[in-house]
Amino acid sequence: MNLLTHTLDSLWQVVLVGLLLGAGLPSLFALGVRALDTGRGSDGTPNPAARTAAVLCFAVVACAILAGILLLASDFLAGTFGIDIF
Amino acid sequence: MVGVRRTGRVSRRDAEFTPPSLYIHVPTTPQSTDVTAEFVVLLVVVVTALAFDFTNGFHDTGNAMATSIATGALKPKTAVTLSATLNLVGAFLSVEVAATVAKGVVDLDTVGGTDLLLIVFAGLVGAILWNISTWLFGLPSSSSHALFGGLVGAALASIGVQGVVWDGVLGKVLIPAVLAPVIAALVSTVGIWSMHRLTRSVSNEHRDRGFRLGQIGTASLMSLAHGTNDAQKTMGVIFLALVAHGTITADTDMPFWVKVACAVAIALGTYLGGWRIIRTLGKGLVEIAPPQGLAAESSSAAIILTSSHFGLPLSTTHVATGSILGTGLGTKGAEVRWSVARRMVVAWVITLPCAAVVGATCWALAHLIGGMPGVLVVFAILCALAVFMWLRSRRQPVDASNVTADWDDKLAPAPGASETVTGEGRS
């Protein structure tokens, strides 16, 4: 019974975060790709507003990947250099 | 001096009826006086553990890299090289103090010394043989489940029913195995659906170029995570073996050579590339284009990196497979090859019991023959079976050259299939 409640409790968190990061981030990335493409003028270069929006989208995704790497290395950094990130 | 102090602590603890623990038993109760034989057994166990690490590497290359290879984001050889490098780096990032292998699944605290070495050895042999057989059939199955299975079998055979923590088997192995593919499929279905909606107006060429780049990022993250999590398991096994032998105590830091050996073994395995499994995941389950690839990789990476923090450790293999399947479900008109999916599910269900049976058999065999000869006989059988299965695989080879050939419902593409594809492309 304890196991069941524990599992259910973990389950909704994993699903929620999974949807937020696992589906949300690639959607944001897709939004960036779209901004670059639709903002393209007749000469083929994207207009500044579209470019800024795209860069913003990609930056958020890049930050998330960086956070992922830091998460993996957090024990190592804490153990070796005494840096606590999370 | 230290030995005397420890003995004193043991007797005091015993007086309080504390259950015997591995840490106290091992250094104080050498069970055999034949030092050379004991050392040979330890050596064989360490080599076997590294062999498991190696199979772990090539078995799981596909989890991170299959979709990138399938969409052409990375050339097959580039993909495995990148993955191997990141596995190597990842392995050095893992610092978990290591007597925690299979903790909460097998109760190894009640045995020590040579008995423990034998259980660990038999468990590893079970896991390796299962990993190689599933690779032969191109089936992605969880290496952790195989290791748990092997150890459960060996523990059952030697200690008995009380040697297995059944709650742990249910909570750490069975429930996550059922939930992982479902959660992953849900996330990647939502992801691919929303990505398709957002990029409807974008030309395929621009869209695919962007998504391929994104795929490389997420695939790299997964490789790094794999090195960090999985090399650690083997480090734990070797640590356990060293403690059982009495070379180190449970309080010792992880020896550096163990880290290096495990990191190199998993990286070499990854570089070898489990092409048969990569092919099943990348071509067999669903047709993967760059959007599907990015959706699948993102879903897998997000779930694998976060799930253990929420107390629900999910197997990489199950998550990766579920994610890839989900992209098929979320794409209009895409075909999911359910027959392939069914074969995988069957493999998952029987992984634990099969590895357990092999583990138990190996333990019984080594135990019957006894001592160093027993271990050596089982090790020889392991080598023979591994070579046999490798030779079998040469009959239908899958390698970097034909891994992305069209799926024709067979694991290995018909000879010359890749040439045919290129030929059609040219005409």
The full DSSP string for A5-69 is HHHHHHHHHHHHHIIIIIIHHHHHHHHHHHHHHHTB-TTSPBPHHHHHHHHHHHHHHHHHHHHHH
Q: Give the CA distances from residue A35 to residues A21, A41, B287, in Å, rounded to whole numbers and listed in that order.
A: 20, 12, 27
Q: Given a cut of 60, is residue B132 above it in pLDDT?
A: yes
Q: Measured between beta carbons, which residues in chain A are less than 8 angstroms from residue B225?
A: 68, 72
Q: Measured between beta carbons, which residues in chain A are less than 8 angstroms from residue B100?
A: none
pLDDT value of position B5? 41
Name the pLDDT band for B239 (thresholds 50, 70, 90). Answer: confident
Q: Given a cut of 70, is residue B65 above it in pLDDT?
A: yes
Given an 8 Å threshold on Cβ–Cβ distance, is A26 in contact with B187? no
Q: Given a cut of 80, is residue B107 above it in pLDDT?
A: no
Given an 8 Å threshold on Cβ–Cβ distance, is B306 in contact with A14? yes
* Angle in degrees, 0-180, between the axes of helices B143-158 and B35-71, rounded to the nearest 10: 150
Please state, for a pLDDT cut of 90, what percent of chain A lies above it. 28
Task: Please measure the distance between the N-terminal and C-terminal CA atoms of chain A and give it in whole angstroms.
Answer: 31
Any idea where the domains of chain B sit in the sequence?
Answer: 36-400
pLDDT value of position B356? 94
8 A C-beta contact, residue B135 and residue B55: yes
Given an 8 Å threshold on Cβ–Cβ distance, is B302 in contact with A6? no
Q: Given a cut of 90, is residue B261 above it in pLDDT?
A: yes
Q: Given a cut of 80, is residue A38 above it in pLDDT?
A: no
Cα distance between residue A53 and residue B202, in whole Å: 16
pLDDT value of position B60? 92
Given an 8 Å threshold on Cβ–Cβ distance, is A14 in contact with B307? yes
pLDDT value of position B144? 87
Residue B203 has which token pair? Answer: 């030309």
Any idea where the domains of chain A sit in the sequence?
Answer: 23-86
Closest residue in A to B314 (Cα–Cα): A14
Residue A12 has which token pair? Answer: 């909704």
Task: Please measure the distance between the N-terminal and C-terminal CA atoms of chain B and give it in whole angstroms.
Answer: 82
Q: Is the ipTM of this complex over 0.90?
A: no
Residue B291 has which token pair? Answer: 């959007």
Instruction: Tell me the mean pLDDT in the region B54-78.
Output: 92
Instruction: Tell me the mean pLDDT in the region A54-59.
Output: 91
| Mean pLDDT, chain B, whole residue set | 83
Q: Measured between beta carbons, which residues in chain B are less than 8 angstroms from residue A27?
A: 191, 194-195, 198
More confident residue, B267 or B12: B267
pLDDT value of position B298? 93
Q: Given a cut of 50, is residue B349 above it in pLDDT?
A: yes
More confident residue, B200 or B17: B200
Query: B415 φ, ψ to 5°?
Result: -55, 135
Name the pLDDT band for B100 (thresholds 50, 70, 90). Answer: low
Return all residues near B360 (Cβ < 8 A) that are at least 6 apart.
B122, B126, B153, B154, B156, B157
Specify the pTM. Answer: 0.85
pLDDT value of position A43? 66
Q: Given a cut of 50, is residue B22 above it in pLDDT?
A: no
What sign results for the dihedral spanned by CA atoms B128, B130, B135, B139? negative
Closest residue in B to A5 (Cα–Cα): B171
